[in-house]
Structure 1
Amino acid sequence: MKLTTEQIEYVSNYVKSFDIKWYELQVEFTDHMVNSMEEIWEKDPELTFHQVKQYAEDRFGRNGFNAIEEDRTQILRKEFRKAQWNVISEYLKFPKIIVGILLALLIFKASFYFDEPDKFVRNLFGLLAILFIPAFYSFYTNRKIKGKRFLELNISHITFTGIFGFMYWIIYLLNSCKESVQRHPILILPFCCALILGILFLMTGIHLQRKTIVNVKKQYQLIL
């Protein structure tokens, strides 16, 4: 037995009442509920609409919606990290890696013009932090599409939190070996390479976010 448009709308509003803020999950859960209700109703037409809804909800369990949301979040995070590493790995292959190596060597050579190598490294990563500002603004302004929030878009924020954590440990390591860096300037080179890696993470994060926005708009027909 097929649900009417009004009944489907009722189920949709019921799903939203579970404080599921991600639009794609609202759509998915509504579809699951509707399909399950239609299946139950087909087997027992004597049931009322609300009885069928209750039986369908019981299939999910008391915390079924939240559990599915958590599972989907973990899956999307893994997929995003994998996609990001795949893009970065392309830049770490010949011949693209030559550009990264030359840039790291150029930055390393520039460090010789500074009396305090550790301060030079801090300034480099300070510059990387400044580059985060437009990237973070892009993430903030695109967190919604036509007023709807998407979990897949929200996942891209792990790029920003991940790189800030990365920079924290870089500065921590720099402070730990400050005197060694001062005596052996060659130790600056790994920090230069880490800077290039950080830039790659930032660039690929922005690229994947834009790609996700396009895919979401097409999938849910939100293109202007």
Structure 2
Amino acid sequence: MQLSKENIKFIDNYLKNSEVIYYDIRMEMLDHVATAVEQKMEAENLDFYDAFKSYMVLNKKGILKGNKDGTNVSYSWSVIKSFLIFITKPYMLILLLLLVILFKKVEVADYLNESFTINNLFLVSILSIALFQLFYFYIYLKERFFVIEKVGGVLALLYYAQIFFFNGFDKEAPSSIVVAIFFYLLFAYIIYFINEILKFNKKNKLLLQ
């Protein structure tokens, strides 16, 4: 017995009112609850509202516990771990190798100047990505995404690392390998970001069909 779009919307609003603020977490919960309610309607011959009420009386605390456990922290190790696994995939390591070769062959500093150095370029790149995410989610979509917010900690780590490695050397520029690694992590972050959005959109479309 498949739920209607109105039923799906009802569950979504219920989760919103229960302070499930992250859209991706809410969709995961919505999928779980909708499936369970469908099964309950079929097994016990109930209408949607009776099945939903009966299910949530028994399961609400357990369902919402995952939301509270995961959203009260600045960083999520599971998300960071997912990113670390992603950057060690074979095709990503090939990208790293290509960047190392590129930065060894091409002296990027020759295309910059004293007023706009390689560290300035890297910093501007970080800020541009952060501003794009802020605009895309908070202004355009008007939704918060748990995975993207938590993996955003990688951007913060890259910011502080570039201060140490780039600004920390007054007399000599960072090596081509250091520059390649930093830009690899930045490109990997962008690819990971796009990959997560595409995966989520695909799953979301299947759920809302």
Please tell me the TM-score bracket, short chain as reference: 0.5 to 0.7
Aligned to 2:184: 200
Of 44, 63, 66, 2:65 maps to 63
Residues 125/34 of structure 1: CA separation in 2 closer, same or farther (3 Å cut): same
Contact 2:8–2:34 (8 Å) recurs in 1? yes
Aligned to 1:80: 83
Aligned to 1:100: 103
Contact 2:25–2:67 (8 Å) recurs in 1? no
128-137 vs 32-41, which moves further: 32-41
Contact 1:29–1:65 (8 Å) recurs in 2? no
**One-letter identity of the residue aligned with 1:19:** E
Specify every segment of 5 or more residues in structure 1 that has no aligned partner in the other structure, as ranges: 115-119, 182-187
Residues 63/189 of structure 1: CA separation in 2 closer, same or farther (3 Å cut): same
Q: Percent identity?
A: 13
| SS of alignment partner, residue 20 of structure 1 | coil
Q: 2: distance between equivalents of 1:62 and 1:150?
A: 17
Q: 1: distance between equivalents of 2:186 and 2:117?
A: 17
Q: 2: distance between equivalents of 1:218 and 1:4?
A: 19
Residues 193/68 of structure 1: CA separation in 2 closer, same or farther (3 Å cut): closer
**One-letter identity of the residue aligned with 1:169:** F
Q: 1: distance between equivalents of 2:56 and 2:137?
A: 32
More contact order relative to length (CA 8 Å, sep ≥ 6): 2
Of 185, 205, 209, 1:221 maps to 205
Residues 7/221 of structure 1: CA separation in 2 closer, same or farther (3 Å cut): closer
> What is the Cα deviation at residue 54 of structure 1?
0.9
Aligned to 2:24: 24
Q: 2: distance between equivalents of 1:195 and 1:208?
A: 20
Q: Could you give the per-residue CA deviations for residues 115-158 of structure 1, whole angstroms, max 9, x where no partner exists?
A: xxxxx7x9431232123343333322333674443333334523
TM-score between both structures, scaled by the size of structure 2: 0.66
Where in structure 2 are the equivalents of 1:54-203 lying within 5 Å? 54-58=57-61, 60=62, 63-67=65-69, 73-86=76-89, 88-93=92-97, 97-103=100-106, 106=107, 123-143=117-137, 146-170=141-165, 173-174=168-169, 181=171, 188=172, 190-203=174-187
1:209 aligns with 2:193: yes
If you compute each CA radius of gyration, which structure gives the higher value, 1 or 2?
A: 1
| SS of alignment partner, residue 221 of structure 1 | helix
